[in-house]
Amino acid sequence: MDTRKGSPEERKAMDRASGKRPDENKPTLPHNSFLQIHVRQNSVELGYPITLTLVLKRKTHTPQNVSISCSLDLQTYTGNKKTNLGVIQKSVQIQGQESEVALSMDANSYIYKLGMVDDEVVIKGFIIAEITETGDKAATDTTLCFLYPAFSVEMPSTGKINMPLSFNCSFKNTLPIPLTNIRFSVESLALSKMQSWKQGTLSPGMSLNFQMKFTPVRTGAKKFIVKFTSREVKEVDAEKIILIT
């Protein structure tokens, strides 16, 4: 018989304050089934499937079944949610104290949504894993930035102040969607201001070759940054130090 004073609720509160666990209808979980989870990747190559490698850690070698749910959203870089790409469900059996589980989602889940906003986008993932036998759960989130394809820029090593300088740029659209509102731009301390050129739309599988011309107004070893931007593919860049005399 419990001789402590107070209501049952008050006695449970005292137990919690003193570090004791109050009686519950379901048994407590063994400490060695504690589950931890983290994600190895922080990027996805544009045009390729989304691939996540989950690392699950436990304090037991006993084989256990784990149910995993991963929800993926396409959102702006500033954190505004725009659209859900889908949910990946997977059940696996893990045996060691540390296990890896691979999740994948087809590239079509995001490619046709890239132009929804005129801003840089990322993929935000929220993952929950639950051990079937014990009910232990672990959760984590991850942000995947896009790795954009490189583009070719031919730039000279030297130039003359107040004399025209030209760069040759080429870009191939490897995506199954057209790239719209294309713009090339160049920035440098050698220039009075950033200069840009609009180039319209590039169909899937097609290449664009463009020559940009501008005039340096300051001397010295200056960095030139050339950017390719469209509504769907944001700021692919290349840079080079050019000596202006």
Q: How would DSSP label each residue in the chain?
A: ----SS-HHHHHHHHHHTTPPPP-SSPPPPGGG--EEEE---EEETTS-EEEEEEEE-S--S-EEEEEEEEEEEEETTS-EEEEEEEEEEEEEE-SSEEEEEEEE-THHHHTTGGGSSS-EEEEEEEEEEETTT--EEEEEEEEEEEPPP-EEE--SEE-TTS-EEEEEEEE--SSS-EEEEEEEEEETTSSS-EEEEEEEE-TT-EEEEEEEE---S-EEEEEEEEEE-SSS--EEEEEEEEE-
Write the CA distances from 8 to 12, 13, 17, 26, 112, integer angstroms. 6, 9, 14, 18, 58
**CATH code 2.60.40.10 for 27-147:** yes
Nearest to 143 by CA among 79, 49, 68: 79
How far is Cα of residue 110 from the mean position of the Cα atoms in its chain? 12
Residue type, 35: L
Q: Would you give per-residue pLDDT tens digits along the chain (245 residues)?
A: 444 444 444 444 444 433 443 333 333 334 444 889 999 988 999 999 999 999 999 888 889 999 999 999 999 888 777 899 999 999 999 988 999 999 999 999 999 999 888 788 999 999 999 999 888 899 999 999 999 877 899 999 999 999 999 999 999 999 999 999 999 999 999 999 999 999 999 999 999 999 999 999 999 999 999 999 999 998 789 999 999 99
pTM: 0.75
Q: Are 74 and 123 in contact (CB under 8 A)?
A: yes
Q: What is the CATH number of domain 152-244?
A: 2.60.40.10
What is the location of CATH 2.60.40.10 in the chain? Answer: 27-147, 152-244
